[in-house]
């Protein structure tokens, strides 16, 4: 497969967790199309390896559960070995939880916070030595992106556990943006509304009715009258990772068709 001809991320190296499907896969494809060397990190070895083979030159896969610090460190090391460095970390991996707050047992609480928040923190810690090198070497610096949610900047009933985890990511974004600015590392969060991905059905316990009815009601809450697609989040990630956003750090950007404007 020929190398992509886009150049908005030309010469850059990105590590994208949860990159085998959904928002992560869309971002992998978007970054790769713009000349970025992309390491796909995921627990889904079959889909991740297949995506890397499909994309060909400039893409590779590493199996990684980002809640495991040793696997995070191995993923960063594999990225540096394969592509010679690391300029962009997109901590995208996460998981859903929807339902009444009292329905979440201890195991669920531990899992949601670990997958959505603590895992992202561990991955950043693993990547920071490489990102500091990139920040020192590149005038526009290095970049960290988190996939949060509109639930990270707002709230609705029956999503409380998930909302706590995503609010944590937004708080982490703002704090790290200040802490890492002297190292020339920008930190931003992407906050999509409910999006048409394979994960959508897993949020359904938070809604009443069937999927079609839920989609109608969700679209009714979005001023533009349509739900985001995965590529919409990928486009935002591309902008925030690029030099075009070199003065943007500490932001939580809604991808919501105007939902947060009211």
**CB distance 233 to 256 below 8 Å:** no
Tell me if the pTM is above 0.75.
yes
**Cβ atoms of 60 and 82 closer than 8 Å:** yes
Of 212 and 200, the structure prediction assigns the larger pLDDT to 212
5 within 8 A of 26, measured Cβ to Cβ? no
- Which structural domains are found in the chain, ordered by start? 13-255 (3.40.50.720)
C-alpha–C-alpha distance, residues 192 and 262, integer Å? 16
**Quick one: what percent of the chain has pLDDT higher than 90?**
81
Judged by DSSP in three states, 217 sits in helix
In whole angstroms, what is the distance from residue 91 CA to residue 97 CA?
18
Q: Tell me the pLDDT tens digit for each residue of 45-76.
A: 999 999 999 999 999 999 999 999 999 999 99
- Across 150-164, 177-191, 205-219, the highest mean pLDDT is recorded for 177-191
Number of H helices, E strands in the chain: 8, 7
Question: Given this model, what pLDDT does residue 98 score?
Answer: 87
Positions marked catalytic: 162
- Whether the Cβ atoms of residue 43 and residue 117 lie closer than 8 Å to each other: no
Q: For residue 65, count other CB atoms closer than 10 A to its CB.
A: 16
CB 159 within 8 A of CB 116: no
């Amino acid at each position: 497969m020929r190398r992509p001809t886009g150049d908005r991320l030309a010469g850059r190296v990105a590590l994208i967790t949860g990159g085998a499907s959904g928002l992560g896969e869309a971002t992998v494809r978007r970054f790769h199309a713009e000349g970025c060397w992309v390491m796909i990190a995921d627990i889904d070895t079959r889909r991740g390896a297949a995506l890397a083979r499909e994309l060909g030159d400039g893409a590779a896969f590493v199996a990684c559960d980002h809640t495991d610090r040793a696997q995070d460190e191995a993923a960063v090391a594999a990225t540096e070995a394969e592509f010679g460095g690391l300029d962009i970390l997109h901590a995208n991996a996460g998981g859903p939880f929807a339902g009444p707050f009292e329905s979440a047992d201890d195991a669920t609480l531990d899992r949601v916070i670990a997958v959505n928040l603590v895992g992202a923190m561990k991955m950043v810690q693993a990547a920071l030595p490489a990102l500091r090198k990139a920040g020192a070497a590149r005038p526009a610096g290095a970049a960290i992106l988190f996939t949060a949610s509109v639930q990270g900047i707002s709230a609705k009933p029956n999503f409380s556990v998930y909302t706590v985890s995503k609010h944590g990511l937004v708080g982490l974004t703002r704090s790290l943006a200040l802490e890492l600015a002297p190292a020339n590392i920008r930190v931003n969060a992407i906050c999509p509304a409910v999006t048409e991905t394979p994960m959508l059905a897993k949020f359904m316990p938070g809604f009443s009715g069937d999927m079609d009815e839920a989609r109608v009601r969700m679209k009714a809450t979005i001023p533009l009258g349509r739900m985001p697609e995965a590529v919409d989040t990928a486009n935002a990630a591309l902008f925030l990772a690029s030099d075009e956003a070199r003065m943007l750090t500490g932001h939580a950007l809604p991808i919501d068709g105007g939902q947060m404007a009211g």
